[in-house]
Structure 1
Amino acid sequence: MRGRVENIMKRVKRSKKLEERNVNDPFKKLDKDVNVEILMKLPPRSIARLHFVSKHLSSIILDKEFTKLYMTRSSTQPRHLVTVNGGHYYVKIQRFHSISPEYPLSSNHNKVSCKLDPYGLSLPYEFHPPVRGLICGRYGIKMIVGNPSTGQFVFLPRVKTTKKNILSVFGYDPVNDVYKVLCMTVVTKRSNISRGVMPCDAMSEEHQVITVGGAKEKWRMIECKYPHRHYSECQGICRDGVMYYLASYKEKRSLMSFDLSSEDFNVIKLPEVEVLQQFGELVDHAGKITIATLGRRGPVDLWVLEDVNKEVWSKSVVVLPSGADRFERFYTFMLRGILATGEMIFAPITSTNPFYFLCYNPEGEKFRRIVIDDIVHYSDPIQVFVDHVESCMVL
């Protein structure tokens, strides 16, 4: 009985402190426009903290109109996002580095560290390209969605499968103003195995979708009219409410699309070029869907999808300058994206010490390095994304 009374007294004291804090809230004395102006000048991490400190500011921060206003401003200042899973052997920390392309010095980095697992393990999640400030990560059948600018993450229900051959794509549906995740798994039937059929001949038979933050958040099985086999090792990307990923359809390498609003699949034929049936990665080319092929020390072929409906592709070739001082290990780099300025971002496949990635401007034929000094572990899984937009969204 005594213990119950003590607990009640503690709750009363906390309640009183909260009421006093709300009464003495200095932001309550200011006009809403002034508070909005103050918040617009703060980084997302600070805004997320103020959400828990000031009840008056919290009502503004949680307002969708303020989130859109902040997003509009951030869209004019896109950044590079580097994800790192590092730390000690038993306690891993997920770190996010938001880097300004114009001022890439370490002093200008927005750094956020967080633990993504309740037991402090912080499993090495593989992240999808960020979409409108949020990012999605997957480790096996575990999935999380969060805001790398604030360090807030939420767990999604586990994917309904025990298979390991999984492809997941993260995107935003502008029609319904929601984020969704598409997940596909391959079901290899025992009869096929007994007949000696290789797993690569199996189709992506399970297609699931989940709406992030929905009232009844759960995976839903959906139908696909185009039997295809996804490439689990390839990244998908989302543009204008449509997801894109590479897959095999009718024994040909094709570009699959998935409309997030209608939840319909479609097939886009690739140009009849042999190299595209074997190589190439999807990259975001200043808003255009592009397949890039990069050989060792060779040119970069860019196949740009100019018209989705008519399946019109254009090709351009970027010849990289030679030089042992610049490209001693260039074959270990991959093209991660192309900015609106035309600058190409190359990130290493394996970690370097210190970690850096390369920015190449074909117009001026100039390279520059962006070095991140506090990434020194060779074994740390690192991913680099371009055109990241910082968001203040509180999850």
Structure 2
Amino acid sequence: MQRVIKRSTKPDERNVNDPFTNLPPELNVEILMKLPPKSIARLRFASKHLSTIILDKEFTKLYLTRSSAQPRHLISVHRGGSNMQMHRFHSLSQDHPLPSNYEIVSYKLDPNLPYVFTPPVRGLICGRDGTKMMVGNPSTGQFVSLPRIKTRRQEILSVFGYDPVNDLYKVLCMTVVAKRSNMSRVGNVVSWEDIVSEEHQVITLGAKEKWRMVECKYPHRHYLGYQGIYKDGFVYYLASYNKKRSLMSFDLSSEDFNVTKLPEDKMLQQFGELVNHAGKLTIASQAYSSTIDLWVLEDANKEVWSKAAVVVPPVTDIFGTFHSVGLMGILGTGEMVFAPHTSRVLFFFVCYDPKSKNVREIVMNGVVDGSDTIQVFSDHVESCMVL
């Protein structure tokens, strides 16, 4: 028996008495450009006319261009220890970081999945817990799950980035395995030089997203506990190559790997974290003193680096009492962002200007409690992109 499908003759409720249909298109765009991403996301369901504009890639690019001129701090807070796993993102202005100027987006996570997020890219952010991964827009609260990573191993490094040539977002994942063919052992201990990142996988965000293996001509080992960063169509991360610490890069368009030698510096071979320093790729290296060495990559093709030493005040001078703190990034103004690794009821971080020696303290009341996991990101831009 053939099934007859009746189509509703009722008009779309969003078309009934929609005031935006009577306004010129350029005025609708101007109205949307003045709204925060959360409000734009709601209007997409309230007005079919505005939804057409909001879903247009050109409007997304226009909104992102405006937001790029107003970078923000992004605070990621995961609250566990109960049946109600909650994750919140706090976005606040870099120029006016007052409690009244930050937005909060909350959403419920799967139980017992403390996602660790990579630095945001063009308004989007990527989180991973084991082989589970999600990508989302922290400004709108929209998050989507990606397929599980194809591996049984847990030593994974994931880096999130954007391919400007093809206008695509991609995630690169690597897992560590031991090369049994030429392992050198002392007892049952495998030499570090014999451990490499063997599985290299990429996923492209889209309707038919799936993980696929990519080839790497440079046998290397990524460092666990370190983050990669995105810049100008490439993702970068620190790794061991030919028994030396090196800078690895991955072209998100051609999907080719490359390696850049680090300067012959003993401390740099042992310490250092990648940061974005006023648009330049920088390794911030700090050993046991109050001096932080900033190694700036001036020319990747010629492997030219410059070095600047910055003396920072003792932790007790900045935070009042002893805390375990870390350098979270360097703003376009040159200010260095420091934040404690552990949560507290009164959460705050500081921006230190090495030129003027000024310290700005950003306090966020009621943001965390003693069980929360916190990540601080700088130079976040708000996006209204719909996933």
- Fold equivalence (TM over 0.5): yes
- Show the counterpart of 2:276: 284
Cα distance in 2 between the residues matched to 1:32 and 1:325: 54
Unaligned runs of 5+ in 2: none
Task: Map residues 221-370 of structure 1 onto 2, 5 A cutoff.
Answer: 221-296=213-288, 298-322=290-314, 324-329=316-321, 332-370=324-362
Work out whether 1:142 is the aligned partner of 2:135. no
Query: Which residue of 42, 45, 48 maps to 1:52?
Result: 45
| Structure 1 vs Structure 2 CA RMSD | 2.3
Q: Which has the higher helix share?
A: 1
Asked whether the 8 Å contact 2:170–2:205 carries over to 1, the reply is yes
The number of residues matched between the two structures is 382
Cα shift at 1:196: 2.5
Q: Which moved more, 1:182-191 or 1:104-113?
A: 182-191
Work out whether 1:35 is the aligned partner of 2:25. no
- Show the counterpart of 1:183: 173
Cα shift at 1:122: 6.7
Query: Which residue of 58, 61, 64 maps to 1:65?
Result: 58
What is the DSSP-based 3-state SS (H/G/I as helix, E as strand, rest coil) of the residue aligned with 1:334?
strand
Cα shift at 1:203: 0.8
Cα distance in 2 between the residues matched to 1:146 and 1:35: 26
Asked whether the 8 Å contact 2:140–2:384 carries over to 1, the reply is yes
Cα shift at 1:99: 0.8
Task: Map residues 95-174 of structure 1 onto 2, 5 A cutoff.
Answer: 95-117=88-110, 121=111, 123-174=113-164
- Show the counterpart of 1:218: 210
Cα shift at 1:232: 2.1
Asked whether the 8 Å contact 2:237–2:247 carries over to 1, the reply is yes
Cα shift at 1:330: 6.0
What is the DSSP-based 3-state SS (H/G/I as helix, E as strand, rest coil) of the residue aligned with 2:169?
strand
- Show the counterpart of 1:207: 200
Cα distance in 2 between the residues matched to 1:64 and 1:355: 37
What is the DSSP-based 3-state SS (H/G/I as helix, E as strand, rest coil) of the residue aligned with 2:87?
strand
Superposition TM-score, scaled by structure 1 size:
0.91
Asked whether the 8 Å contact 2:315–2:322 carries over to 1, the reply is no
Cα distance in 2 between the residues matched to 1:325 and 1:260: 42
Asked whether the 8 Å contact 2:345–2:366 carries over to 1, the reply is no
Unaligned runs of 5+ in 1: 1-7
Q: Which moved more, 1:56-65 or 1:340-349?
A: 340-349
Work out whether 1:86 is the aligned partner of 2:79. yes
Aligned structure 1 segments of 4 or more residues deviating by more than 6 angstroms: none
CA pair 323-38 structure 1, distance change in 2 beyond 3 A: closer
Superposition TM-score, scaled by structure 2 size:
0.93
Asked whether the 8 Å contact 2:80–2:114 carries over to 1, the reply is no
Q: Percent identity?
A: 67
What is the DSSP-based 3-state SS (H/G/I as helix, E as strand, rest coil) of the residue aligned with 1:217?
coil
Counterpart amino acid of 1:351?
S
Cα shift at 1:233: 1.0
- Show the counterpart of 2:18: 25
Cα distance in 2 between the residues matched to 1:386 and 1:20: 41
